[in-house]
């Protein structure tokens, strides 16, 4: 899913664009420990002080250098990821905290941000206008409707029309993308879908499927990325569906 060769370009673009967005929108940037290539001072949004997270929930462990293997139980996002999201996971699942912009989860046969079946929490995504171009995408998408419009404009992929869904107590829009089994129109057979401000890229390989759910948490766009490769088992799919169903977000925790 990641393409380190483009990271340097995206980092420069992300820092410039995110800084500009913050100045215009008045977003508060707090001080956090660095993780997954995220700068210590970068945060896409501040959490409403009215949101309280139960002390009985365990924070998702892991960092950019290594994933963590989880015991069965209920976990919640924590600093530096600013949107509270809790979920119940089976034993053996993997997690990686990707700084203020992402939390990566995978089934036991995965590697947190890579695997047969992954479930990612994403903030401040850029959507590529051309999935084959080796250049930074436009500015971060800021709303559910704009995100849906940007994803629908991607070429070379099968995009199923968006539908209204409710996840974690929030109502939003969900789209599913499928890449051709024998490769897309890009030269390397992989289609770039979106990227984070500090470099991580999300792509589809031949035969892969990606479901993107866009939600609005008090003005903050939260995207849930479910990606499935051709190696995913029925158990992988069932477990991921159960974890998604167990989610609570923001004030609904």
CATH number at residue 148: 3.40.1000.10
Q: Which of 65-69, 108-112, 174-178 has the lowest mean pLDDT?
A: 65-69
pLDDT digit string, tens, across residues 135-151: 766 788 999 999 999 99
Residue 85 lies in a domain: yes
User: Is this model's pTM higher than 0.85 or not?
Assistant: no
- Which structural domain, as residue segments, surrounds residue 138? 4-43+53-252
CA distance 219 to 79: 19
pLDDT digit string, tens, across residues 189-244: 788 999 998 889 999 888 899 999 999 999 999 999 999 999 999 999 999 999 99
CB of 95 closer than 8 Å to CB of 68: yes
Residue 200 lies in a domain: yes
Residue 8 lies in a domain: yes
Average pLDDT over residues 50-77: 84
Residue 187 lies in a domain: yes
Among positive and negative, which fits the CA dihedral 211, 77, 114, 43? Answer: positive
Residue 28 vs residues 6, 48, 98: alpha-carbon distances, Å: 28, 11, 19
Query: From the CA atom positions of the chain, what is the Rg in Å?
Result: 17
CA distance 82 to 42: 11
Q: How far is CA 58 from the centre of its chain?
A: 20
Residue 48 lies in a domain: no
Q: How many domains does the chain have?
A: 1
CA distance 76 to 31: 20
């Amino acid at each position: 899913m990641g393409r380190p060769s483009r990271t340097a370009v995206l980092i420069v673009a992300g820092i410039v664009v995110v800084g500009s967005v913050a100045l215009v929108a008045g977003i508060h940037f707090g001080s956090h420990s660095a993780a997954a290539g995220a700068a210590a001072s970068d945060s896409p949004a501040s959490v409403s002080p009215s949101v309280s997270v139960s002390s009985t929930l365990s924070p998702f462990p892991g960092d950019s250098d290594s994933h963590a293997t989880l015991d069965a139980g209920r976990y919640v996002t924590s600093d530096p990821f600013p949107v509270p999201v809790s979920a119940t996971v089976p034993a053996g699942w993997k997690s990686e905290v990707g700084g203020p912009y992402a939390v990566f989860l995978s089934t036991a046969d995965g590697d947190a941000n890579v695997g047969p079946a992954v479930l990612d929490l994403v903030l401040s995504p850029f959507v590529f206008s051309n999935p084959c171009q080796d250049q930074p995408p436009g500015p971060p998408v800021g709303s559910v409707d704009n995100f849906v419009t940007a994803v629908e404009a991607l070429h070379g992929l099968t995009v199923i029309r968006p539908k209204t869904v409710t996840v974690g107590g929030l109502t939003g829009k969900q789209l599913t993308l499928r890449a051709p089994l024998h490769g897309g129109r890009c030269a390397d057979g992989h289609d770039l879908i979106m990227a984070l401000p500090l470099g991580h890229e999300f792509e589809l390989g031949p035969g892969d499927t990606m479901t993107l759910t866009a939600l609005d948490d008090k003005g903050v766009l939260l995207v849930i990325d479910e990606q499935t490769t051709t190696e995913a088992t029925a158990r992988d799919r069932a477990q991921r569906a159960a974890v998604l169903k167990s989610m609570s977000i923001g004030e609904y925790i």
